[in-house]
Amino acid sequence: MIGLCCSLRVFLRYLYREGIIAQDLSPTVETPRQYRLADLPRAISWEEVRQVLEAVDRRMAVGRRDYAMLLLMITYGLRGHEVAGVRLDDLDWERERLRVPERKAGHSTAYPLSSVVGEAILDYLQHGRPQSADRHLFLRVLAPFVPLRGSSVSNQATRRLGQAGIHVARPGSHTFRHSCIQRLVDAELSFKTIGDYVGHRSPSSTQGYTKIAVETLREVALGDGEEIA
């Protein structure tokens, strides 16, 4: 809507400058107000998450790679550039830990490496990752075998959503990050805990998810002793 208003103002100034209209009407086009936290996060349901994962063909190298990347986004809420930044040295197999460098305020974050994520990464390393001296975990499946960029991770997430027939506004890696956060909200974890887990730099970033805590909001709205009709 804001972009449309800007285009309309430019067009009206052009018409006035060319003498097509007698008065410059561009100042009359007001930009609509924007409110913080006005939009709902772009999450999908957990059932839709399963559909996306089940649609990935893990018999192919690209499928093994994308499956592991999706699990990182879904399980830990990693951003696209954070997935792209994971290196082989960030995987501590002995202690079952995953390190995500510079995730929040320049500090690294260590997570327990879940068995599902670990098995997916191991499958990719053994049967999908090209031979390369580069220490980044995720590489292109075709030569040149260079590390994926954050934009490439997001593009693959978008492709996997479309492949599963899941339609969402502005799809990408953040779709799965939002779904991870929504699941934590549904589990009734504190917003401070959730913010720390997913690497929010500001508490206000987590506050937007209060709008998807539907059951909690319903309880507040109903009050004591009331029931849903």
Catalytic, out of 58, 64, 79, 103: 79
Catalytic, out of 103, 129, 177, 183: 177
174 classed as catalytic: yes
d(CA 140, CA 129): 8
Tokens 């090209």 found at:
130
Catalytic, out of 67, 76, 124, 209: 209
79 classed as catalytic: yes
104 classed as catalytic: yes
The 3-class secondary structure across the chain, one letter per residue, is CHHHHHHHHHHHHHHHHCCCCCCCCHHHCCCCCCCCCCCCCCCCCHHHHHHHHHCCCCCCHHHHHHHHHHHHHHHHCCCHHHHHHCEHHHEECCCCEEEEEEEECCEEEEEECCHHHHHHHHHHHHHCCCCCCCCECCECCCCCCCECCHHHHHHHHHHHHHHCCCCCCCCCHHHHHHHHHHHHHHCCCCHHHHHHHHCCCCHHHHHHHHHHCHHHHHHHHHCCCCCCC
Tokens 């899941």 found at:
166
Catalytic, out of 65, 160, 178, 200: 200
Catalytic, out of 174, 178, 183, 197: 174
177 classed as catalytic: yes
Catalytic, out of 104, 140, 149, 211: 104
Active site residues: 79, 104, 174, 177, 200, 209
